[in-house]
Structure 1
């Protein structure tokens, strides 16, 4: 059983590098029989434990800006409020938390809608008693760039290496997508492993053209293909969101140290009373405790507020399996 579990984790790690890699390619890189990898991979996807989905770059699709919301709720209503946030088509992640805030979410809205979001919409969500909305100034790491360090460097290189994880996140000045590209992105949001043949039929393009366009969009940062799964599946069941205060002159140096750890899945600079938010995962609470005690970057901050993630209702624009799917742009 331990060998099977280890193989599942390696398959997940391969999909994290390239969610569209064929089972044959993954099997070759991992040194496992193709039939075994195809069966285990299909079982993981079929069970809903892992879903490969495209997340379009919100700064290109719709010209939106991102905000991280930190909300407190009246007793007994946190689940209701978090569910309402998760079901918003413009939310990218939604977590239930411990600590001073009950839930957090990243929301992507057009600049013209920011006042409506912060002044009117958030206040109408049932259960929320207070909320702070922090503009995201830049992303230091997004989920598609996270490397759980399950595969070695040679294996990651064979799967594509940094070709996709290094894609830019800020594309605000780029041209809008044409009709065919939008069709491709929409189809990949529903199934990131959809065949090129099916994508060609949906878009009216040839298979070769579909391949070229998807590859271009992935490498230029128009869309990110992500294997969406709970970190517990790769042995990291403890997740904590860190709210950090750090002087802006030191922010870049602190961020560079933050990114040295594979425990960091996501990090973004914020405007507000917290200047940095960091999403981290660990094998145990003891490992989290050691990280908080021993990380060099923490000594350079003014304060740090860790909050455990009790439940992720949405990740990478994909609702948790028990909510079903609701995507679009």
Structure 2
């Protein structure tokens, strides 16, 4: 069964850019067997329709530089529409999903520090009218994040041609970001594939400097670029989050094992009753039970305490999504890397709240 509703070339472009988000079209042309002009035209059409985009977000080492947390949010039954709109409008709230089970929403939040996270929770999240409770699970270590997930449309030879060399894990945190770094992040969040010269012009610097600065932020693990595709294009996705517990001395081993699973989207060591959070992107709910059975066989010390199936994702990586997963608006994430966390721009907040209110 073909689970990809998009054309073969569309999906191949998505996969290629998941391997190398800023590869130029000439570089992709050889692997995809199409001219650079054809690939550029295809990508432009996908982007304009909100079917695909390059997102910028926290990288695999973000916890060295800031604070990442997963929020389990419960609210009054008739307040879900308003709560969803308020959560979506928060710039520090990167992703929002309505879920099955005891949680109404699962939220990914990022902040420059624990103090900023505390302020976000006490002044902006917990005060939202309609919220009953918020359980905060702070990320301690990242074993896999979203930029490594792929639609897997390319064969091994094509993948090998486009795979970027992996930078070694930095032994220490990099320097703090300055104003130029923040300008570059802001511009990249709006168009992750804009040419270096255009990016430099927007930020008042040179092309080589822009490329070097962005490269350092990516290599340090502070940020990650990733290509996202709407479900209307890449096919059905059933994000399923498992709260799991393993013996403390096995966390790293389990993290390495689970992090290699192709359908793994996110894997973190966390605080709370369960010490790991795992999000898998299945094609259907029929895959969940066999996966749990396989976990029990392969990792007998692992215990699944709870699982949440995403019923609808409203926001991912700062992008506001419609019912078919298309990007309809963006709240840039630059503030989560700076010394403060800002609300969404006033004009955008009202529009997003209105949009979310009509769709929740």
Is this a same-fold pair by TM over 0.5?
yes
Cα distance in structure 1, aligned partners of 2:267 and 2:63 = 22
Cα distance in structure 2, aligned partners of 1:277 and 1:60 = 16
Find the partner of 1:136 among 130, 135, 139: 139
Cα distance in structure 2, aligned partners of 1:250 and 1:140 = 13
Cα distance in structure 2, aligned partners of 1:154 and 1:77 = 51
Cα distance in structure 1, aligned partners of 2:267 and 2:83 = 24
Cα distance in structure 2, aligned partners of 1:157 and 1:238 = 28
CA contact (8 A) 2:61 2:221 kept: no
CA gap of 1:33–1:63, structure 2 versus 1, over 3 A, is closer
Aligned equivalent of 2:150: 147
Q: Does 1:256 align with 2:261?
A: no
CA gap of 1:160–1:220, structure 2 versus 1, over 3 A, is farther
Q: Does 1:17 align with 2:52?
A: no
CA gap of 1:322–1:232, structure 2 versus 1, over 3 A, is closer
Give the secondary structure class of the aligned counterpart of 1:77.
helix
Moved more, 223-232 or 105-114: 223-232
Give the secondary structure class of the aligned counterpart of 2:256.
helix
Deviations 1:209-234 (A, max 9, x none): 32333333322324311213345633
Matches within 5 A, 1:72-221: 72-109=74-111, 110-163=113-166, 168=169, 173-221=173-221
CA contact (8 A) 2:264 2:280 kept: yes
CA contact (8 A) 1:54 1:191 kept: no
CA gap of 1:167–1:313, structure 2 versus 1, over 3 A, is farther
Aligned equivalent of 2:320: 319
- Runs of 5+ consecutive residues of structure 1 not aligned to the other structure: none
| Offset at residue 101 of structure 1 (A) | 0.5
Matches within 5 A, 1:243-322: 243-295=243-295, 296-297=297-298, 299-320=300-321
CA gap of 1:170–1:107, structure 2 versus 1, over 3 A, is farther
Aligned equivalent of 1:225: 225
TM-score, normalized by length of structure 1?
A: 0.87
CA gap of 1:63–1:155, structure 2 versus 1, over 3 A, is same
Matches within 5 A, 1:24-103: 24-55=26-57, 63-103=65-105
Count of paired positions: 326
| Offset at residue 142 of structure 1 (A) | 0.7
| Offset at residue 69 of structure 1 (A) | 0.4
Moved more, 57-66 or 236-245: 57-66
CA gap of 1:170–1:285, structure 2 versus 1, over 3 A, is farther
Cα distance in structure 1, aligned partners of 2:80 and 2:244 = 23
- Runs of 5+ consecutive residues of structure 2 not aligned to the other structure: 336-360
CA contact (8 A) 2:60 2:144 kept: no
Moved more, 217-226 or 129-138: 217-226
Cα distance in structure 2, aligned partners of 1:9 and 1:323 = 20
CA contact (8 A) 2:141 2:269 kept: yes
CA gap of 1:115–1:218, structure 2 versus 1, over 3 A, is closer
Give the secondary structure class of the aligned counterpart of 1:216.
helix
Cα distance in structure 1, aligned partners of 2:304 and 2:171 = 28
Give the secondary structure class of the aligned counterpart of 1:76.
helix
Cα distance in structure 1, aligned partners of 2:148 and 2:115 = 29
Cα distance in structure 2, aligned partners of 1:216 and 1:56 = 14
